[in-house]
Amino acid sequence: MNQVHPIGTPSDSTVRVLVVDDSAFMRFTISNYLNKQPGIKVVGSAQNGEEALVLIPRLKPDVITLDVEMPKLDGISTLREIMARFPRPVIMLSSMTKEGAVETIQALTLGAFDFVTKPEQKANVNAVMEEVAQKIQRATKARIWSPPSSRPTIMPKVEPSFSNKNIRPRRTTEPVVVIGSSTGGPRALNTLIPALPGNLPAAVMVIQHMPAGFTRSLAERLDTLSPLKVKEAVPGDQLQVGQVLIAPGGFHTVFDHNGQAVMNQNPPVHGVRPAIDVTLSSIVQLYGAHTISVILTGMGHDGTNGCGLVRSVGGKVIAEDESTCVVWGMPRSVFESGFSDLVVPLPDIAKIIVQQVNDHLENG
């Protein structure tokens, strides 16, 4: 069994932070800003992963900020060691480059709590520091999962690809499975999507809260692991059997009367874009009772209104159980609103989706 490490900082306690970054400017900037925030104290800094691994057992930080690109021991290798030896919330600091996006997605699937994009210009530093501070406070409410073994599992850089992925148009009676996730979502999707069978007689749509520039890397990674085709949605895409579409970060995704994907940058809903509620509302209007909604780990209540719509037209709603959520926010909101048909731990959700799809086809 994987070990769960609840992180909970009492309201009257200070969040202890370790800053890990090879840039002296970033170490100073992050530390200086965070130390001015109420309830946060930087207890140390390290210029690479090797230094960090020495300091963690000594300083016992509650949260770690971790650069992705570092000498000696890079952020991904350091994260593996942290999650195996000293599990606690880690917030990655990532560049906006293609390589940075790939490494960020890898970090999130390995258990990083969240990430913040490094500013391209020094003028943007304050806004980024504010985001770091907010995510540190949120991280204190997270459940952190560590691997069952005492040593980290080294993941190959090149994953084996599935061949012969068959994609076909969706038949009118076949369900549409809509999966929504936020904080902790990439790791949850890394478990769920590869477990769905290649012959699943349903179309699948994923909305993961994520900024522009990162969802393509998420889709590409999941595609290497999954018997289903996984791709970032683009305008004109249709929901098809054998394929998983992932809503592009930074855009709301809806489907027009022809069933074609349309992206927009309308204002955020619940503070996020893409929003699960926006996509769910669109899909329910098109597919009605053929909709199966799955709400995974995440903060807030995005997806709740959409799940209410799903239930109102006779569709089904699955919520992730609290025991496996990094943050039991969105699934909790769905459950407490009375909209969930099933509340299921993450390792069992793929099996339940298959059952629900088959039941739908049998019972019409």
Per-residue pLDDT tens over the stretch 172-218: 999 999 999 999 999 999 999 999 999 999 999 999 999 998 999 99
- Report the pLDDT averaged over residues 300-321: 98
Q: Which residues contact 285 (CB under 8 A, 6 or more apart)?
A: none
> Is the model's pTM score more than 0.85?
yes
CATH architecture of 3-146: 3-Layer(aba) Sandwich (3.40)
220: which 2 tokens? Answer: 């590409």
Domain 3-146 and domain 168-363 have a common topology? yes
Long-range contacts of 330-333, Cβ-Cβ distance < 8 Å, separation of 24 or more: 330/180, 330/181, 330/182, 330/276, 330/295, 330/296, 330/297, 330/298, 330/299, 330/300, 330/301, 330/302, 330/303, 330/304, 331/295, 331/296, 331/297, 331/298, 333/300, 333/301, 333/303, 333/304
Q: What percent of the chain has pLDDT over 90?
A: 79
Please report which confidence band the pLDDT of residue 235 belongs to, taking 50, 70 and 90 as the band edges.
very high
HSE toward the beta carbon, residue 4, CA cutoff 13 A: 11
CATH class entry, domain 168-363: alpha beta
State the Cα–Cα distance between residues 17 and 90, nearest whole angstrom: 10
Any idea where the domains of the chain sit in the sequence? 3-146, 168-363
Q: Which residues are catalytic?
A: 182, 209, 302
